[in-house]
Chains A and B, each alone.
Chain A
Amino acid sequence: AQKITQTQPGMFVQEKEAVTLDCTYDTSDQSYGLFWYKQPSSGEMIFLIYQGSYDEQNATEGRYSLNFQKARKSANLVISASQLGDSAMYFCAMSRGAGGTSYGKLTFGQGTILTVHP
């Protein structure tokens, strides 16, 4: 079974500073995918960034980067130059890489609420 752990219920950051949101995972699979989603107070889930287990380089998407440490089973999200609009709930999730009926299903962590202060 897969498990995602997000140990920070809430985080605060000053506008324009960088912040790291922690995510650790547990799986016995060799092939898997790691995702980060943002959920504003309105409720929709917005995809931010993806990292495959075999990707050697850390994924980056604009101000978002994923600090992937495979040996430690961690996939932390780094947001650079925080903006007020970044205030939201952030979820880490993982999928099994390939094969079987589990393909594509996501297992989510409990989430971290990020508040950006002006």
Chain B
Amino acid sequence: DGGITQSPKYLFRKEGQNVTLSCEQNLNHDAMYWYRQDPGQGLRLIYYSQIVNDFQKGDIAEGYSVSREKKESFPLTVTSAQKNPTAFYLCASKTGFGQPQHFGDGTRLSIL
């Protein structure tokens, strides 16, 4: 079945450590997105990519980095510069105007 796979489901980060969240899709979608969700809040856009080898900053990109070397993969690195990384991270992809974004099941990141 086609879909978006995020891994791991839970991730723990030590102070000063970089961690990478994986997002893979087999939907053949061109555009991919990373969102952050804090408890009881809506989603905020971190980074997005519309084509391979190109990506743009979203509203809260500081302390995060991404790459898009393959169409199906869009990993997010939470760097040590992100001082408050504890949150729920959701990856999404879409194709075509007016089409909805499809989401993965998310990764919960916590600080040890």
Residues of A within 8 A of B (CB): 4, 33, 35, 37, 42-47, 50, 52, 91, 93, 97-98, 101, 103-111
Contacts and interface: CB of A to CB of B under 8 A. Distances in A.
A91 B42 contact: yes
Residue with the highest number of chain A CB atoms closer than 10 Å, among B31, B100, B102, B105: B100
Interface string B29-51: 00101010000111111001010
Interface residues of B, number: 27
Contact of A109 (B42, B56, B92): B42
A1 to B, nearest CB: 10
Nearest to B41: A110
A97 B97 contact: yes
Contact of A44 (B31, B48, B105): B105
Interface of B: 31, 33, 35, 40-45, 48, 50, 56, 58, 88, 90, 92, 94, 97-98, 100-106, 108
B23 to A, nearest CB: 14
B103 to A, nearest CB: 4
